[in-house]
């Protein structure tokens, strides 16, 4: 699940993690799935949303940042899976490397999967991602009890998603 991640990186030049284990979030990960939002100053400033699923961080680049109002709609471009240890990564990716630029942790914590089917029965995050629709609530320092939805566009490009702010608890 991390072949694309490893293929794009030269670990002799970058300090990005190769392992799956997240040190500071291990306690949380034992009980709840983790998330991280990273501020990424690459060729263009964007935010990376990462949600734990199936032992990796499923990842989306969000060019305009996380939506703050229910009327906000944000493009989210799905990228390659990242190892769980990436939840702790902050630093500078060297020039000439994939994603070159400064990475800061904007927020991290755990999330609840709120995804349901048409009959209001809970759906696993894995199944929701496969169907192209998930709903989740973030529990972190900046994003306290904020719910979001990711919905995949039905166009040719399977990596294009719409990120919506749902509500605060």
66 within domain boundaries: yes
Would you give the distance in Å from CA 130 to the centre of its chain? 16
Residue 121 counted as domain residue: yes
Beta-ladder partners of 39? 47, 104
* 77 within some domain: yes
What is the spatial distance between Cα 96 and Cα 18, in angstroms, rounded to a whole number?
Answer: 19
In a domain, 101, yes or no: yes
In a domain, 13, yes or no: no
Structural domain includes residue 154: yes
Q: How many domains does the chain have?
A: 1
Provide the whole-model pTM: 0.86
User: 29-65 pLDDT, tens per residue?
Assistant: 457 899 999 999 999 999 999 999 999 999 999 999 9
Domain span including residue 36 = 3-8+19-168
Query: Rounded to whole angstroms, how far apart are CA atoms 139 and 22?
Result: 17
């Amino acid at each position: 699940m991390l072949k694309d991640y490893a293929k794009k990186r030269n670990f002799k030049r970058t300090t990005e993690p190769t392992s799956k284990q997240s040190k500071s979030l291990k306690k949380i990960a034992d009980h709840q799935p983790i998330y991280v939002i990273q501020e990424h100053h690459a060729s263009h400033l964007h935010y990376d949303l990462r949600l734990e699923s199936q032992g990796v961080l499923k990842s989306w680049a969000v060019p305009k940042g996380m939506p703050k109002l229910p009327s906000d709609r944000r493009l989210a471009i799905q990228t390659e899976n990242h190892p769980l240890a990436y939840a702790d990564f902050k630093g500078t990716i060297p020039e000439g490397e994939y994603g070159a630029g400064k990475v800061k942790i904007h927020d991290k914590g755990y999330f609840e999967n709120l995804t349901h089917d048409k009959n209001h029965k809970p759906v696993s995050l894995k199944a929701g991602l496969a169907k192209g629709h998930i709903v989740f609530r973030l529990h972190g320092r900046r994003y306290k009890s904020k719910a979001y939805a990711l919905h995949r566009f039905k166009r040719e490009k399977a990596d294009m998603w719409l990120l919506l702010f749902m509500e605060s608890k």
